[in-house]
Structure 1
Amino acid sequence: MAEKYPILQGSEPFYAEGNNVGILVSHGFTGSPQSMRPLYEAYAAAGFTVCGPLLKGHGTHHEDMAQTTYQDWIHSIEEGYQWLQERCDTIFVTGLSMGGTLTLYMAEKHPEVRGIILINAAVVLPAMESIRHITDVQFLDGIGSDIKKPGVTELAYAKTPVRSVNEILNLVEVVRRRLYKITCPTLILVSAEDHVVPPYNSQIIADGIQTTEKEICRLENSYHVATLDNDQELIINKTLAFIKRVLT
């Protein structure tokens, strides 16, 4: 089903053609590519080929999102991956929040992925589990803009569809069960204080994946949307250093 609403200004997908190393970048649940734009631009400036898809049902209106499934979100990421495959020999994947969940999915589905970077990735969402079976309302309050830095706002939906909560819970369950299949080098970035995804998710992921090359880096000065927060430069620098190390 096509989106009924136009793409919000600032939510457009990002594409940049560079060298033969590609980076697939995924935004999170109810969010948009706006939350990842500083990363897109930094990676493109470093010479990489970058793709930041807009997940189906996102970046328009919450009623659009209510009509999508987690398979739709996977399809959006797969399309971005295919775009990179046509241009690159080597591909890294990174994502924020549910974008991190999708990153894990891609690493399991595509073992040729060279490495992954997870930013406050979700595989367990107990707060959402508690509202999973709500039937008397269609929409809940939004979860966007969990940012410590004053004056910074995430372009995310003001309302969260209950149907979409069920979809993300299905997605994290699928991904969590398959963590053991992931073997590529992994950098895990986790905010010390996160009001959306509990920080202990990072340890569940680290314990579950079967790679000897994994690192957890704590972000001490950011909340959930760390890509727009005080640790933005740290995330960019750690990512670029990780990619360089894996490639050498």
Structure 2
Amino acid sequence: MAEQTETSTSSPDHADLHAPLSVAARPELTGGRRIGVLLSHGFTGSPYSMVPWGRSLADLGYAVEVPRLPGHGTTWQEMNGTTWSDWYAEVSRAFAKVQAENDVVVVAGLSMGGALVLRLAADHADAIAGVVVVNPAVATKRLDVKLLPVVKHLVRSFPGIASDIKKEGVAEHGYLRTPLKAAHSMFRAWPELVADLPKVTAPVLYFRSTVDHVVDAASQPLITSRVSGPVTVRELPNSYHVATLDNDAQLIFDESAAFVARVTAG
């Protein structure tokens, strides 16, 4: 059977669904300081999953940058030609922009986006005031991952992981297929990141859905036990993986805003 070609979520008619978001700070709302927040979406997703969160922060006066990672928001076939290095280069570019335009920066991410911003926080510990992660992925209990170095040359994709959302009628508009070469690149980046988690000295706000069909329980203990900064864990009882679009989204928006205000005070 031929592999499915991406059409429904990544056609030109839907290009606006995947558009990045960039909003300048309004320091008159934040005590005269320019405070920036970088938000990163997850694997096979797009800014669509992060824009509501970003707009909620922008309404409070924070600068917001939501980049679109290379290979995302187009086709899974295109994504299969990109790697962790490409995605990290894009979040690094966005981080440099936010840092240059603001007095203080907080980084946040969903799923793989959480891993990417933890990588930023490890590499730029002195420049990041806080980290917010939602169902981040840095490890997995899945045994089939060990087969990817071989399988990725035989099969280009597996069924997609997008739209793991409890709320009825809501879609993430991610890919219908999971590109395996790209996935293998992500998995290969995890061990180095886990080893470097002690370099994360900023406070961490960790949101975790009680039911998540995408990211298993392997990541949370690794992150919470290894980062050097203080960690606050908040459970999301009424959301699945893409919690930023799910029933607990407003809780994420409100508590992350309070966190940003706290870690950037002074």
Runs (5+) with no aligned partner, structure 1 = none
Alpha-carbon offset, residue 245 of structure 1: 1.6
The corresponding residue for 1:9 is: 16
1:145 is the counterpart of 2:148: no
The corresponding residue for 1:80 is: 94
Q: Distance in 2 between matches of 1:165 and 1:103?
A: 18
Matches within 5 A, 1:37-76: 37-76=51-90
Counterpart of 2:78 in 1: which secondary structure? helix
1:34 is the counterpart of 2:41: no
1:107 is the counterpart of 2:125: no
Partner AA of 1:122 in structure 2: A
Counterpart of 1:108 in 2: which secondary structure? helix
Matches within 5 A, 1:165-244: 165-211=183-229, 213-244=230-261
Alpha-carbon offset, residue 32 of structure 1: 0.2
Q: Distance in 2 between matches of 1:79 and 1:11?
A: 18
- TM-score after normalising by structure 1: 0.94
The corresponding residue for 1:125 is: 140
Counterpart of 1:93 in 2: which secondary structure? strand
Contact 2:209 2:237 in 1 (8 A): yes
Alpha-carbon offset, residue 88 of structure 1: 0.4
- TM-score after normalising by structure 2: 0.88
Contact 1:190 1:199 in 2 (8 A): no
Q: Distance in 2 between matches of 1:245 and 1:226?
A: 23
Q: Distance in 2 between matches of 1:174 and 1:126?
A: 17
Q: Distance in 2 between matches of 1:96 and 1:184?
A: 18
Q: Distance in 2 between matches of 1:179 and 1:207?
A: 9
Alpha-carbon offset, residue 63 of structure 1: 1.2
Contact 1:27 1:99 in 2 (8 A): yes
Task: Indicate the larger mover: 107-116 or 119-128.
Answer: 119-128
Task: Indicate the larger mover: 8-17 or 87-96.
Answer: 8-17
Contact 2:203 2:263 in 1 (8 A): yes
CA distances 1:131-153 after superposition (whole Å, capped 9, x unpaired):
52313211111110000111100
Contact 1:22 1:48 in 2 (8 A): yes
Percent identity, aligned pairs only, is: 37
Alpha-carbon offset, residue 130 of structure 1: 4.7
Runs (5+) with no aligned partner, structure 2 = 1-10, 28-33
Q: Distance in 2 between matches of 1:156 and 1:224?
A: 13
Q: Distance in 1 between matches of 2:100 and 2:52?
A: 24
The corresponding residue for 2:7 is: none
1:163 is the counterpart of 2:178: no
Partner AA of 1:125 in structure 2: T
Aligned residues: CA RMSD: 1.4
Partner AA of 1:80 in structure 2: A
The corresponding residue for 1:21 is: 35
